[in-house]
Structure formats: C-alpha cells, structure tokens
Amino acid sequence: MAETKNAAKAAAKGSASAMNLPLDRIVQGDCIEVMNALPEKSVDVIFADPPYNMQLKDTLHRPDNSKVDGVHDAWDKFSSFSAYDDFTTRWLAAARRVLKDTGTIWVIGSYHNIFRVGAELQNQDFWILNDIIWRKSNPMPNFRGTRFTNAHETLIWAAKSADKGGYTFNYDAMKSMNDDTQMRSDWVIPICSGKERLKDGEKKAHATQKPEALLYRVLMSSTKPGDVILDPFFGTGTTGAVAKKLGRHFIGIERETDYIKVAQARIADASPADAEALGYNEGKRAQPRVPFGTLVERGMITPGTTLYDSHRRFAARVRTDGTLVAADSKGSIHQVGASVQGAPACNGWTFWHVEKKGQLYPIDVFRQQIWAEMH
C-alpha cells in the first residue's frame, strides 16, 4: 500500500508521517501539551482560532430589549494582557515546533487580541505573508450607536520564516474562484447561521463557530490534497469537516468534551461529495450600493454645492455628511427631494442635478462613474 511505502520512505528520512500522527482524530487535552507530544516538523498547515480575550462588562440589550447572547465562557477569560501574552507565546512556540519548515500558519482574531498575536508571531520569527480581512456580509449591528459596526475579523497567514520558502499557495485556484482576477486580501463571507449553525439542544453548541466557507478558502488556498492540517482550538470541528470534504487530513485538539462530541458527529456526517456546496457562495456579486455621501467624501461634489431639479424649480445645498438642506427640510437626497415636491417618495439620484457650465447633470452620473471604476 502507498501508505506503507510512504511511511518507510519517511522513516528513512526521519520525517513526520512515520511518526504515527493521530490523523483525522480529535485529541482531548491542553493544546500546548498535546502539540509538544507530537513529532516536530510534522504538519503542513496550522489553523488556529484562539480565545479573543474579549472584555465584556454588562449584558447588552438590543433596542427591542432582547438580550444579546455574548461570549461568557470561562475559556475566553484572562486576568491581564500579560497573562494572555504568556499563553500566546507558549502555544505559538509549540505550534512552530510541529510545523514543517515549508508549512504556514493561520490565526484568526479580532481587535481584542489580533495585534498581540501578530506581534508575537513576528517575535517568534514567523514571516507574515498576508493579513486577510473576513468582511461579514451580515454582522451584528452596534446597538447603542457608539462606534462603527464591527463588521470584520482578521486572519494572519504566515510562513515559518522569511527564508524558508516552498509554502503552498494555489494561486490559480484562487484566481479562478474570483472571476479570474487575483484573490484579494479581503473576503466577503456571511457569518455562520441557519442550518450550518450547530445546536446542543436548543442552545448553540459553540459561541463562536466559524463558517465552513471561510475554512474552505483557507484550505483551498494554502494546502494540497493529502496535506495535514492541525487545529489546536478545534471547538466543534469546522476545520475537520472542511478538511474531510476537501480530501485533506486534520488533527484536532480540544479540551471540552461537549465540543468534541458535537465535532465527532459532524465530521462523521461530512463526505467529500459535499465539497462543491462549500464554494456555493463564491463569485456571485451584486451591484454594490453607492451612498451619496461617498460622492461628497471623494470630492466629486463639494460641501456647499447647490443641487437643482431638472426644471430649476427647487434647490438644496449639500452638507458635509451628504445630507441636503432645502428651505423647509433636511435629510437624505431622497427625503429632501420628496419633501420639496410634497411627494411621498422620490429617487434623489435622478431628481437632483448639479450645474456645470450652465448645464444640469443628474447626480447619478457620478454614481455610474464609481460603478465603472469598480469593474
């Protein structure tokens, strides 16, 4: 069998696959101890979703007074930044040891932890290849109106060191997944919800389950069929499920029995035939929305400019935030357009015009210009 032959060869070379890796299994235990018990330089890629160390204070309510079910698990609590840094240093060192010289590591996080993880990766001589932005198409809003909607998470992709090349990057696969233009460092992917979201009774099985589409892109870009992917924070096993579907091997490490049970059932259900469905939401792109404020921000229309309707019966001035002021009303281009006409609704894009050299042009021409730039 090929496996025996490879194993023999590997043994001769003193390399990994001879060493009885727990392939396609979940090992229960502390990830640092378990990694340290694995042979060194034995895995191709590591995907890690460590605790984010979010420091949530009180319970948060939506405007409709319902409670937000936040992450209050003990595993996300650290006493201080330095405790978190110490943890990060130790698990990254253990990860580095088991990673092949040609291997790469992925770590996902949010602003709560990702800067500390990134700095420590650099300190340990990992060589950052990209930082990747997972842009969530349906993030949770900011319910109190105090900040920007936190609509993304960050992944860092790094090689073992600057001079150790030979890592896998499936450039062409990525390009063809992206309508034949290079895959960019920002990925638009919905959060994990609906049927994909695993339940334990009525509650969600894990507070922070990642979408399979995200892991699909990670594994498609940076591994080959048959590669070994290690996930030291396995949770409910998204990495394992996608690895199986894509014909890769996984090694999962997880402490919590409840998560392991859910993950095992899930992976048993997964089959390589499901692979196609994973790429389902790739490629389809709707016409992006262009807010009027964008034209102001980009200097296409200056604050203070007067807009007119096509017959110059009505006028309004543009303010810095992209709202309009007319004689009796303020608001969006649509609201003010409706208001001056006494109409219930109005398409401000075609109603309002700017004057250039005595001629009136509908503001929609600027929007079309932006759309054109996007292609």
Using the rule CB under 7 A, which residue among 10, 19, 32, 54 binds DNA? 54
**Binding of residue 154 to a second copy (CB under 8 A):** yes
Helix (H, G, I), strand (E, B) or coil at 190: coil
C-alpha closest to that of 21 among 9, 33, 35: 35
- Using DSSP bridges, classify how beta strands 25-28 and 249-254 pair: parallel, antiparallel or unpaired: parallel
Residue 25 binds what, of DNA, a second copy, none (CB under 5 to 8 Å, by partner type)?
none
Contact range with DNA by CB under 7 A, out of 4-12, 244-252, 268-276, 345-353? 345-353
Question: CB within 8 A of 116, min separation 6: which ones?
Answer: 81, 84, 85, 88
User: 97 is in the binding site of which of a second copy, DNA, none (Cβ under 5 to 8 A by kind)?
Assistant: none
Q: Please select the residue that binds DNA; options are 97, 204, 261, 266, rule is CB under 7 A.
A: 204
Torsions phi, psi for 167 (to 5 deg): -75, 160
Q: What span, in angstroms and rounded, lies between the C-alpha atoms of 329 and 339?
A: 7
Q: Answer for the pair 50, 107: CB distance below 8 angstroms, yes or no.
A: yes
Site for a second copy, residues 228 to 257, rule: CB under 8 A: 245-246
**Using CB under 8 A, which residues numbered 309 to 348 contact a second copy?**
317-323, 325, 330-332, 341, 343-346
Site for DNA in 162-201 (CB under 7 A): 162, 165-167, 171-172, 175, 180-182, 190-195, 197
Report H helices in 223-308.
238-245, 257-269, 275-278, 292-297
Per-residue DSSP letter, 328? S
Please work out the total of residues on this chain that contact DNA, with binding judged by CB under 7 A.
85
d(C-alpha 282, C-alpha 346), whole Å: 35
Question: Angle 238-245/257-269 helices, nearest 10 degrees?
Answer: 20
Q: Per-residue contact track with DNA, 291 to 310, x per CB under 7 A?
A: xx------------------
Q: Which is nearer to a second copy, 259 or 292 (CB)?
A: 292
Interaction pattern, residues 1-30, with a second copy; x per rule: CB under 8 A: ------------------------------
Among 14, 141, 166, 226, binds a second copy (CB under 8 A): 141
Asked whether 96 and 104 are in contact (CB, 8 A), the reply is no
Choose the binding region for a second copy from 4-12, 44-52, 72-80, 353-361 (rule: CB under 8 A): 72-80
Q: In this complex, which beta carbon is closest to DNA, that of residue 80 or of residue 271?
A: 80
Interface with a second copy (CB under 8 A), residue from 37, 68, 83, 173? 173
Choose the stretch contacting a second copy; rule: CB under 8 A; options: 10-18, 128-136, 202-210, 231-239.
128-136
Q: Which of 220, 250, 255 is nearest to 238 (CA)?
A: 250
Among positions 72, 199, 224, 312, the unique one binding a second copy when judged by CB under 8 A: 72
How far is Cα 193 from Cα 210, in angstroms, rounded to an integer? 9
